[in-house]
Structure formats: C-alpha cells, structure tokens
C-alpha cells in the first residue's frame, strides 16, 4: 500500500504541501531519501525465514520482501500472521482460541524494526521464525548515550525522526518509546517473557511462542490451566471480532476499510476477519463490490 492510499484510508489530506511538510519531497519537488524509502524504488528489504525446530538446521520457508516500506510492512505482517498458529481450548461450553504470538506484540516488533532501522546499511533486516520463538533483527544498534535499561523504561531516541513522523500521522505509532512497553504488556500474564539483545550494529527482539510448551508437554496441567485462563482474559479484551462486532452494532454497519482502520491491519487480514465472522453468523453481508457493507446479526 502506497503512502497516498494509506493517507486516503485514514482520511488524512496528502498533497504536495503535506509531502513537503513530511519531508518526502524538497522545495523543487524532488524525492528525498525518506520519499525513496516510501516509494517502490526502495532498495532496502526484509528477509523472513521459517525454520523447523529451534535452530537453523532445516529451512521450511524463506521470503525476501521488497518495495516501499509500507508494502513490506503489510506483506511481512501477513506472512507472519499466516504462520501465527492458533491453539484451541474448551472451557465449559466456550471455545477459546489462543494464538502463538499476541498480535499486538508482532505488530510493535515489526514497526520497531522499520522505524528504528539504520538505513545507511544495505544489509536486509531479518525475521526468523522458529517453533518456540520469533526473532526480529533490525540493522543498527542503540543510539549513542542510550542503553538497554533506558529502552525498557520507555526512553527512546529515534534514529529516523522523519520516518517516525509519517508513521505517527498514519496512526501506526502512538508516541515514541511506547512500543517496547506494549510488547511486554502483551506477555504480562505469561510465564515466558520477550527479551531484547543488542550489539553495536544490531537490535534483536525475541518473542516467545505462548503455545509451544503446551505442544511439547513441558508444563503440568495445573500450570497450563493457570496460563490459559490468564491468556483467555487478555484475548477476550483484545478480540478483533468483538471490536468489529461492537463497531457494527454502534454504527449500524461496517465496511472492510472500517475494519482496516479499526484493527490497524492489512487489507487481506481485514478480509479474513470479515469472512470468518460472516461464516460464523456474526455479520451479514449487504451489497456487492464497492457498495459492500456488513451488519451485526442479533
């Protein structure tokens, strides 16, 4: 998705003056380095590799994502989302679905990789998916004068201030320095916690797979029940379907673009959520093509 389409989706004006204000073009209407990052001519890429097991012995899948940073962001998120499996449990008459990785944690780790990357390096950013974790490796270490303890308490010195401003205007980020806190809060009821590793030229966020230990039988039934219950509470609060249903009920109807903006997801993810809700008789489809909208089924 191009910046123009993203701004149009957010109902934010995006003309020549706005492009100059955001420093995408200069006074002579020539694209800046930031403009190139957000264009199809962007030379930087993200590589995503899926491994079988917990090491790099066997490859299952690998992709390199190119194009504008917006395009890479949406396509990489969808790729990870496809591999973000769901574990179903039954609590009385209620079926509870728990994903391997909290969606908010994946989203914030990906945004961190994009916004804080050092684009003076040509090497690709790297995301590695194992059975027990996802690792997001961004090129560029911590900014001078900042250490890991500072990051953990919310202090942030942005390497790419102009890029962050664009993401802020698009409501992709709320404020600087809040992403790591959101990731940690997504795991606050879990025994496993995300971890961060830094070197001089790299920044790595590691998200543990919530469901992996259930599959390997490492937890006792009592621990599994305790963690599942706390996960259920978090999932209920953050359920995408509940948010869509609440919007449809309060506004009368909801469209796919409404879902994209409400959940801050890509077009394909929004379509998948809607299809599932229609199939489960939570939403009713009205109209066709561009006139399609959905109403809540009472």
H runs (alpha helix) in 118-208: 148-152, 161-169, 179-186
CA gap 87, 158 in Å, rounded: 37
pLDDT, average across residues 121-137: 94
172 and 63 in a single domain? The answer is yes
End residue of a domain, out of 191, 209, 227: 209
In a domain, 292, yes or no: yes
171 φ/ψ sector (left φ>0, alpha ψ -120 to 50, else beta): left
Establish if 226 belongs to a structural domain: no
pLDDT category at 233 given cuts 50, 70, 90 is very low
Q: What is the domain extent for residue 190?
A: 3-83+101-209
CATH number at residue 155: 3.30.565.60
**Which comes out higher in pLDDT, residue 153 or 53?**
53
Domain count, the chain: 2
Q: Is the pTM for the entire model greater than 0.75?
A: no
- Do 160 and 254 belong together in one domain? no
Structure confidence at residue 221 (pLDDT): 47
* pLDDT computed for residue 236 by the predictor: 41
Comparing C-alpha atoms, which of 22, 31, 21 is closest to residue 164? 22
Task: State residue 266's pLDDT score.
Answer: 83
Whether 58 is covered by a domain: the verdict is yes
Q: For residue 160, is it within any domain? A: yes
Say if residue 147 is in the same domain as residue 10. yes
Same domain, 123 and 244: no
Give the mean pLDDT of 240-249: 86
DSSP labels, 81-121? HHH--EEEEEETTEEEEEESS-HHHHHHHHHHHHHS--TTS
Is 198 among the domain residues? Answer: yes
d(CA 69, CA 40): 8
- The predicted structure's pLDDT at residue 235: 42
Average pLDDT score over the chain: 83
Q: Is the pLDDT of residue 86 over 90?
A: no
Dist. CA 2–CA 20, nearest whole Å: 17
Per-residue pLDDT of 175-231, as tens digits, reads 666 788 899 999 988 888 999 999 989 999 999 999 987 765 554 444 445 444 444
Average pLDDT of span 53-71: 92
Domain CATH number, residue 257: 1.10.10.10
Whether residue 187 is found in the same domain as residue 253: no
């Amino acid at each position: 998705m191009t910046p123009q389409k993203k701004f149009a989706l957010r109902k934010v004006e995006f003309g020549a003056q706005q492009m100059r204000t955001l420093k995408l073009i200069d006074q002579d209407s020539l694209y800046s380095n930031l403009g190139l990052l957000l264009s199809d001519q962007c030379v930087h890429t993200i590589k995503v590799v899926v491994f079988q097991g917990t090491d790099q012995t066997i490859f299952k899948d690998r992709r390199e994502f190119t194009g504008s940073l917006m395009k890479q962001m949406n396509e990489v998120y969808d790729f990870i989302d496809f591999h973000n499996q769901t574990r179903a449990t039954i609590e009385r008459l209620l079926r509870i679905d728990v994903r391997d990785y909290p969606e908010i944690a994946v989203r914030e780790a990906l945004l961190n990789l994009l916004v804080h990357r050092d684009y003076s390096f040509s090497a690709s950013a790297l995301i590695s998916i194992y059975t027990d974790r996802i690792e997001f490796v961004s090129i560029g270490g911590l900014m001078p004068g900042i250490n890991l303890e500072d990051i953990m308490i919310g202090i942030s010195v942005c390497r790419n201030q102009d890029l962050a401003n664009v993401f802020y205007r698009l409501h992709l980020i709320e404020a600087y320095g809040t992403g790591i806190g959101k990731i940690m809060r997504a795991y606050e009821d879990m025994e496993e916690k995300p971890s961060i590793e830094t070197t001089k030229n790299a920044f790595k966020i590691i998200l543990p797979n919530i469901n992996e230990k259930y599959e390997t039988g490492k937890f006792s039934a009592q621990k599994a029940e305790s963690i599942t219950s706390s996960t259920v509470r978090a999932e209920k609060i953050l359920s995408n379907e509940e948010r869509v249903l609440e919007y449809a009920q309060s506004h009368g109807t909801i469209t796919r673009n409404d879902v994209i903006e409400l959940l801050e997801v890509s077009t394909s993810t929004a379509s998948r959520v809607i299809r599932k809700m229609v199939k489960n008789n939570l939403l009713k489809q009205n109209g066709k093509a561009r006139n399609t909208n959905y109403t809540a089924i009472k």
